[in-house]
Amino acid sequence: MRLLIYSGFNPRQRDNYGQTSLHLSCINGNLTSVKELCEQDGAELDLKDKNGKTPLMLASGRKHQDVIEYLRRQIKSKNSFIPKLDLLSIAFGPPGNSKVAILFFMVNVSCWGYPMYIIKCLPYTWYDLMVLHIIFFILNIVMWFSLFHASTTDPGYLPRNVPEYDLAIKQVAHFDEWKQGENPLSRLCHTCRLVKPLRSKHCRVCNRCIKVFDHHCPYIYNCVGYKNRQWFFIFVWSMFLLAMCTDFFAYYILSEEFDWAICIGAIEAGIATIGVTAVTSMMTFHMTSNITSNERINQKRYNYLKDGKGAFYNPFDKGPVSNFRDFFHMKRELTEKDVEILSL
């Protein structure tokens, strides 16, 4: 349905029975199409056909319960004079893109971690562990600096509504790949209306296509992509080292004297260390292998990650040193033609 609309089809056009695409979708019980049509500008939800039937009536007559419930919500929302205020979304972000994770991290560190460090740790261990404290200070600066940049830097948003998309849509009928069982539309993003470059992916949370998409991270409230992956890498490594320092501080104090507050902090730090270690190890492996989280998880979807026999092959992996340079933008990026040659 989305492809038809983007190709120029008018969803409000009526047939000989006075029915629009919305009427027909309700008859068939196609909830996906109903949602797509209702999201279009100027969608008429109460429009009657020549028999006086609205889309809701047609769905009710065929007992498509999911379509009925969705249409009722849409009609109620459309006819409401009072704008709906979602206070939770205002405070923490919309569903699927919540700020809870990053707010929890910042509040936990600022209101629990730092007070515990200043009150319980620093006065008792400064002279014994002065060098470690200095390292701890520096790592905190690095952590907040990298978090800020990872969170606010454009991860690699691709431009929308590019002319190549319209050209590709017009050429769909002429693709020989249809005969070979391949889908030439797999490289098209109908939301951003673009032809997706190699290694890019549409993030359903940000609702944008990201260059060299890795994953969407709620702890930085941003995607991790080509332009900010370096900052995210530094952030997770600084977090890992800070977690190790915190664990050592807790062990050092508890070995001298038992303290419930330090004990609770040590347990929390230990749990955090496990999670941070896993993420840091994963990011380090991906960096040294020149592969993204998305590619590793969904490798079977991408033909460019297969050799001539269909087995997994990573054409971007040129060794740890070369991959490191590529990760930090110290060398030329491989083009699609380069990948095709390497995959032969």
| DSSP-assigned letter for residue 157 | B
**pLDDT bucket at 156, cuts 50 / 70 / 90:** very high
Digit-coded pLDDT (tens) for 296-341: 998 888 888 888 788 888 889 989 999 999 999 876 666 656 555 5
Output the CA–CA distances (angstroms, integers) from residue 321 to 2, 166, 287, 328, in the order listed.
44, 40, 10, 11
Count of CB atoms situated within 10 Å of the CB of 319: 11
Q: What is the mean pLDDT of residues 261-274?
A: 87
Calpha distance 238→240 (Å, rounded) = 5
Give the per-residue pLDDT at 174.
59
Contact between 228 and 150 (Cβ < 8 Å): yes
Give the per-residue pLDDT at 1.
60
Digit-coded pLDDT (tens) for 239-259: 999 999 999 998 888 888 888
Give the per-residue pLDDT at 215.
92
Give the per-residue pLDDT at 192.
87
Give the per-residue pLDDT at 159.
92
User: Which residues make Cβ contacts (< 8 Å) with residue 89, sequence separation at least 6?
Assistant: 95
**Is a pLDDT exceeding 70 seen at residue 284?**
yes
**Is a pLDDT exceeding 60 seen at residue 87?**
no
Q: What is the mean pLDDT of residues 10-15?
A: 81
Q: What is the mean pLDDT of residues 214-238?
A: 93
Give the per-residue pLDDT at 293.
93
Beta bridge partners of 188: 195
Find the range with the poorest average confidence among 47-61, 84-98, 285-299.
Answer: 84-98
